[in-house]
Each structure stands twice: as C-alpha cells, then as structure tokens.
Homo-oligomer: A and B are copies of this chain.
Amino acid sequence: MTRADIKLYELVLDNGRSASPFVWRIRYALGHKGLDFETVPVGFTGIPKILGGRFKTLPVLTDGETAVGDSWEIAAYLDAAFPHRPALFHSPGEYAAVRLHDEWQAWHVMRKLFALYALDIHDAARPEDRAYFRQSRERMLKGKTLEEFTANRVSQVPEARAALMPLRNQLRRSAFLGGAAPNYADYIALGALQWVASVGTLPLLAADDELLRSWLERCADLYGGIGRESGMRTLFE
C-alpha cells in the first residue's frame, strides 16, 4: 500500500528534526491514513527555492503532480484524495470542532511556547538559517532581540504548564484527546509538543505531569513510532 509518490517538504533543524508543529501534524496525519511518504528536508531559507517558490511556509505535500501547502489544506486533501483510508475527519462538525481546538491552542498555548523557545529555535536552526530567523522574528517582536524576549523565560514556565490544563482535563476521561482513538486533535497538540521537544533546552513539563506523560507514551507508539525520534522525554524536568 506504499504511495512512494507522496513527498512531505519538512522544515528542519540542524539536527535533522522537524522544526514545525505544523509539519508534525501532517506526519501524524499521514501515519493515521497509513500513507508512506518521502521526506524532503528544507531549512527556513530554503522555502523559496522549492517548487518554483510557490509556497511561503511548510509543510508542503506533493502527490505526483499535485502540490498542497498549509497543514489544514493538506489534511483536507488527504481525506479527499484517499477516501478509503481511515478518515481524519468523519463529519463537517468534527472538522470544525478540531479546528476550533487548534484556535484555542494557538492563542492560549502556542504564543506562550514561542516566548519560551524563540531563542532555542534560532540556536537549533541550520547555521545558514539563523540570520533569517533572527531578523524575521525580531521584526515581529518590534525590535526586541530573541535574547531579551526570552531572558525571563524560566518565570513563565508555570503559566505555560497551566495553559495546558484543558488537555489534561480531557485526558482524565479518555485515552486520547480524540476519545478512545487518536484523531487530528491529538496530532495538533502532539505537534506542538514535538516541536518543543525538538528545540527546547528548558523542560516544559513537570516530572509528575502523569496525565500528559501517559498520553505521550501512548502516542509514542503510534504509526511505527514516528514520534520517538524527537526525544519526547526531554519535555520533562
């Protein structure tokens, strides 16, 4: 059932790991659908050089002649193009509710994670990508350096941990965020934590965070263990 004509253009760090929470979602989505794919590693500054410069962000997925960018577009494409594989979304309402979960996480968690790990991402990027990363992000930070932006990050860890409480509360009731089986809601949260695990030099989670730990362990076995390589145990202090 190999579809060797699927390529996933992944944003990578100097250590070869995926440097994007959005790439991670699609890696899991491909696993969910049982689709093999070939990885094309791309650094931050390499994006304009692929596929004729048509895409400004990664992931990009190509399936033969078709190229799709944006993780939500890619997820919808995978369900449409492979309807006989396990669905990522079983109803329009599920798609919408999972997307709403993404909005909650983006606003209440991802911004806090960026404040913790902005400098770590820079340091973990390929050497040729670092100047671009610094310049583009420091512009977003209105002139603050990455060093200034993250100087007090240790004091912000408790708030970032607390912001994840909705995930823990959901996991009190079910093995996965998506219920008895994982769904794209899990991959969205996993993507964020894989991203942190790939770059972080400061543990995000407390050692006794058993709800998230046991969920991460269940997730580590998914789809041939694709998530194991990023060293999720570095997430815990």
- Which residues of A are interface residues toward B (Cβ below 8 A)? 89-101, 103-108, 163, 165-167, 169-170, 173-174, 176-181, 183, 185
CA separation between A177 and B103, bound complex, in Å?
11
**A97 (CB) vs chain B CBs: closest residue:** B97
Of listed A95, A96, A104, residue having the most chain B CB within 10 A: A96
In the bound complex, do residue B169 and residue A107 qualify as a contact, i.e. CB atoms below 8 Å apart?
yes
Copies of this protein, total: 2
In the bound complex, do residue A91 and residue B92 qualify as a contact, i.e. CB atoms below 8 Å apart?
no
In the bound complex, do residue A185 and residue B90 qualify as a contact, i.e. CB atoms below 8 Å apart?
no
Chain B residue contacts of A183, Cβ below 8 A? 93, 96-97
In the bound complex, do residue B169 and residue A96 qualify as a contact, i.e. CB atoms below 8 Å apart?
no
CA separation between A178 and B97, bound complex, in Å?
6
In the bound complex, do residue B96 and residue A178 qualify as a contact, i.e. CB atoms below 8 Å apart?
yes
Chain B residue contacts of A169, Cβ below 8 A? 103, 106-107
Given A178-B97, A183-B97, do A170 and B103 touch, yes or no (CB 8 Å)?
A: yes
Given A165-B107, A166-B108, do A101 and B97 touch, yes or no (CB 8 Å)?
A: yes
20 contacts between A and B (CB under 8 A): A89-B93, A90-B90, A91-B91, A91-B94, A95-B179, A96-B174, A96-B178, A97-B101, A97-B185, A99-B170, A100-B170, A100-B185, A101-B101, A103-B167, A103-B170, A104-B108, A104-B166, A106-B169, A107-B165, A107-B166
Given A97-B97, A97-B98, A101-B100, do A92 and B179 touch, yes or no (CB 8 Å)?
A: yes
CA separation between A124 and B149, bound complex, in Å?
45
In the bound complex, do residue B99 and residue A90 qualify as a contact, i.e. CB atoms below 8 Å apart?
no
- Please name 8 further chain A to chain B contacts, defined as beta carbons within 8 Å, in addition to the given A93-B94, A99-B173, A108-B166, sorted by A numbering: A91-B94, A93-B179, A96-B170, A96-B176, A97-B185, A100-B166, A104-B105, A108-B163
Instruction: Looking at the assembled complex, report how far the CB atom of A196 sits from the nearest CB atom of chain B, in whole angstroms.
Output: 19
Instruction: Looking at the assembled complex, report how far the CB atom of A166 sits from the nearest CB atom of chain B, in whole angstroms.
Output: 4
Instruction: Looking at the assembled complex, report how far the CB atom of A110 sits from the nearest CB atom of chain B, in whole angstroms.
Output: 11
Chain B residue contacts of A99, Cβ below 8 A? 170, 173
CA separation between A105 and B182, bound complex, in Å?
21
Q: Which 8 A-B pairs have the closest CB atoms?
A: A97-B97, A90-B91, A103-B166, A96-B179, A94-B94, A104-B104, A93-B183, A104-B166
CA separation between A237 and B93, bound complex, in Å?
32
